[in-house]
Amino acid sequence: MENRIAVTFEKEVTLINRIKQLEGSRWSQSLQLWHLPDTEAYRIRFKISESIEKSILSHIDTPNQEALHRFIQEIQLKGYSPLTLKTYRNEFGSFLYYLKETPAKECSVEKIRDYILYCINEIKLSEATIHSRMNAIKFYYEQVLKREHFLFEIPRPKKPNKLPKVIATSDIKKIFESTPNLKHNTMLKLCYGLGLRVSEIINLKIVDIDSKAMQVFIERAKGKKDRYANLPVSILEQLRSYFVEYKPSVYLFEGQFGGKYSSRSVQQVFRNSQKKAKINKILGVHSLRHSFATHLLEQGTDIRFIQELLGHNDIRTTLIYTQVSDKNIRKIISPLDTL
């Protein structure tokens, strides 16, 4: 029996016409809903991420199960983060699923080229996702099978030059004012005040806060890199009040039943505060980190110090904020105003 994906939505002529145009779409009179073939393309289109992983990895042909096993072991041996392992495993798993009974170790460059074109033209993946898949495939052939420059002749799609989304200081104040919960407010203020990633805020421990030196120790951040961040003076009293009220045991921010706070919960806290503040922009909590860097730059902070505070290995990563800052651009007068 063919697996199908159920799709429900409000009865609207435009949406009905759109789903009718999708290949393999059918209407179920008994269930009163539309359904589509259960394919990778549709799973990606409708963002069924959890099922994609389980479905694809469990349907890889036997000859390639060993390839996936060796692939995972190599990533573990190199000490990559759990997130990198998960991403690479899923991307490489999608490639093995596409190969079906063709053994990966016998795959030609031409076959891989066809797969990349399939990702571009058939399932219409973004440039970033295609780069990620190519990196995973490259890792297998060059790191596991030791074939140097195996994919050298396959060009990569050009990535769009996206700039970080920065929040104006007035809007950041509104977000904080719209967050009355002490834990949530403290969490968001530290994200902005220290320029933290979501993974860093949830991994902060009580022992990492040094109120005497006014520093915060960020342990094993991205790239397993330790660093120190300056603790803002304005947050110290609030931190003490938070500690007295919530009494965290290990992590600075803990869930309802102990253990560290989840990254999803931090994102939801930010979205709720943004909504209450009536800031109608597509933002995420990471925008607070972007804003921290941009506002420091506009205050005249040396770019090398910003690089250190953010924990960037390459100064070029930090230099992108020079394209976002509009301090000097705002001083430029349009020729229209001089007429």
The upper half-sphere exposure of residue 121, i.e. CA atoms within 13 Å in the direction of its Cβ, equals 6
Residue 141: DSSP 8-state: I
Any idea how long the chain is?
Answer: 339
Find the catalytic residue in 286, 290, 330, 331: 286
Long-range contacts of 306-313 (CB under 8 A, 24+ apart): 308/227, 309/194, 309/195, 309/227, 309/229, 309/230, 310/195, 311/218, 311/221, 311/222, 311/223, 311/225, 311/227, 313/223, 313/225
**How much helix, strand and coil, in percent to the nearest 5, is found in the chain?**
55, 10, 35
Among 146, 62, 145, which residue's Cα sits nearest to residue 103? 62
Catalytic residue check, 184: no
Distance CA 308, CA 305 (A): 5
Find the catalytic residue in 35, 289, 290, 295: 289
Find the catalytic residue in 98, 242, 251, 321: 321
Question: 3-class DSSP state for residue 261?
Answer: coil
Catalytic residue check, 286: yes
Catalytic residue check, 321: yes
Catalytic residue check, 312: yes
Find the catalytic residue in 174, 184, 197, 295: 197
Find the catalytic residue in 45, 183, 222, 260: 222
Catalytic residue check, 222: yes
Catalytic residues: 197, 222, 286, 289, 312, 321
